[in-house]
């Protein structure tokens, strides 16, 4: 059973830069997994930030960026703002129609 790993929590100061990662319990994440990142605030449906590793979804500011860093997918937020305080989820496409979400990262801005 493949597990997608994310940091459970992270904190960043306003104006700071942070990188969240998305890995695999076994193996390396590559662009072939089409890593996608979602942002979710409590009580709301998720919002797509980044898809296919590094493509920003429509309306997403360019301070959100995606990449592959080492053996993981990464979401970098530059110039963090108070309303970036949310849960962030990555999802990886395993092939054969199957996708797996990571457990999510709770980001605190303080």
Enumerate binding residues for another protein (CB under 8 A). 1, 34, 36, 38, 40, 45-46, 48, 51-52, 57-58, 87, 89, 91, 93, 96-104
- The CA distance from 108 to 27, in Å, is 29
Alpha-carbon distances of 75 from 33, 43, 48, 96, 97, rounded to whole Å: 15, 23, 12, 25, 24
- The CA distance from 62 to 25, in Å, is 30
Least distance from another protein to the Cβ atom of residue 69, Å:
20
Nearer to another protein, 17 or 52 (CB): 52
Nearer to another protein, 1 or 26 (CB): 1
Least distance from another protein to the Cβ atom of residue 17, Å:
24
Least distance from another protein to the Cβ atom of residue 71, Å:
19
Nearer to another protein, 25 or 58 (CB): 58
- The CA distance from 72 to 6, in Å, is 10
């Amino acid at each position: 059973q493949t597990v997608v790993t994310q940091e459970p929590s992270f904190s960043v100061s306003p104006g700071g830069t942070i990188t969240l990662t998305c890995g695999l319990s076994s193996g390396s994440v590559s662009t072939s997994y089409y890593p996608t990142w979602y942002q979710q605030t409590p009580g709301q449906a998720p919002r797509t930030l980044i898809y296919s590793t590094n493509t920003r979804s429509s309306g997403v500011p360019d301070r959100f960026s995606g990449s592959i860093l080492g053996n993981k997918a990464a979401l970098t937020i530059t110039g963090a703002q108070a309303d970036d305080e949310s849960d962030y989820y990555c999802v990886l496409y395993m092939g054969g129609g199957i996708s797996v979400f990571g457990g999510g990262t709770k980001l605190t801005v303080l």
